[in-house]
A = this chain, B = another copy of it.
Amino acid sequence: MGHLDEEGHCHPKAWRRCGARCALGTLVTVAAAPCPRPGAVELSRRHPVASWLCAMLHCFGSYILADLLLGEPLIDYFSNNSSILLASAVWYLIFFCPLDLFYKCVCFLPVKLIFVAMKEVVRVRKIAVGIHHAHHHYHHGWFIMIATGWVKGSGVALLSNVEQLLRGVWKPETNEILHMSFPTKASLYGAILFTLQQTRWLPVSKASLIFIFTMFMVSCKVFLTATHSHSSPFDVLEAYVCPVLFGTGSGGDHPQDNHGAWPGGPPSGALATKSKEELSEGSRKKKTKKAD
């Protein structure tokens, strides 16, 4: 982070340069992305332009979304010709390499783990730089800093509906905000931490926070990838916090009156019945759907 001085000041130009320097990481990002993506090979054969655009979205979606939020040209990042050419070369190798050699190498577990780790390093740097950039524009805009950091960290995940539409797929019943994956959640929590650090509420130096958070992200993601697990290290924490804050865990089905904070008597019968009915109707619908 040589372009950030001790005080944490960062000029927009330095920010650009950092983006350009991080571009090597895009190699990793795009390389690791299409591994579990069914249909991607067919798409690349039949519609190379759409496939290339999807790959670019996977690589640079976070920049596009952050530019949209901050009112800058959406296409701004595409002025880094070298990054785009590098990403295009990786895309070409993954889909059109003879004997699929490149893809096989990338998906070989030890190699994949290295790439996954590098991707998390890039993600944490992106969050930190994004919050820095937002702080430069809005000195007291906490929500703007958190949003920019989150968007920079999550990248294409938050754009998943757009990316699917580009490929001719449409799944409106779900999106990344309804069902957050581990990287999206971690980006959100990371963005909150870095915002607290930036506004001096967290008495830690930026370098330390980057180091600690990178270590956490890399170890979690490598462990999750190695064990093919889809659980999240935040589940335990959320199981304690959500019932207190929101009446029920984010994945649970318990109605609100379960959190036991109101010992002054049973809740109003009519309301409780109504809200229970509402919830049970929701779950019944879901069961019917599954039965179909």
Contact = CB atoms under 8 A, between A and B. Distances in A.
A282 B137 CA distance: 48
Interface of A: 38-39, 41-42, 44-50, 53, 67-76, 78-79, 81, 84, 96, 98-100, 104, 137-138, 140-144, 147-148, 161, 165-170, 172-175, 177-178, 180, 188, 242, 245-248, 250-252, 255-256, 261-262, 267-268, 271, 275, 278-279, 282
A103 B221 CA distance: 42
B175 A41 contact: no
Nearest to A142: B81
Contacts of A49: 177, 180, 188
A179 to B, nearest CB: 8
Given A71-B71, A73-B137, 18 more contacts: A38-B278, A41-B275, A41-B278, A42-B278, A45-B246, A45-B248, A46-B252, A47-B177, A47-B178, A69-B74, A69-B75, A70-B73, A96-B245, A98-B261, A98-B267, A99-B262, A99-B268, A104-B271
Contacts of A143: 75, 78-79, 81, 84
A127 B251 CA distance: 41
A276 to B, nearest CB: 11
Contacts of A141: 78-79, 81
B172 A173 contact: no
A138 B246 CA distance: 46
Contacts of A99: 262, 267-268, 271
A71 B279 CA distance: 42
A189 to B, nearest CB: 12
A38 B148 CA distance: 31
Contacts of A48: 242, 245-246, 250
Contacts of A68: 74
Contacts of A245: 48, 96
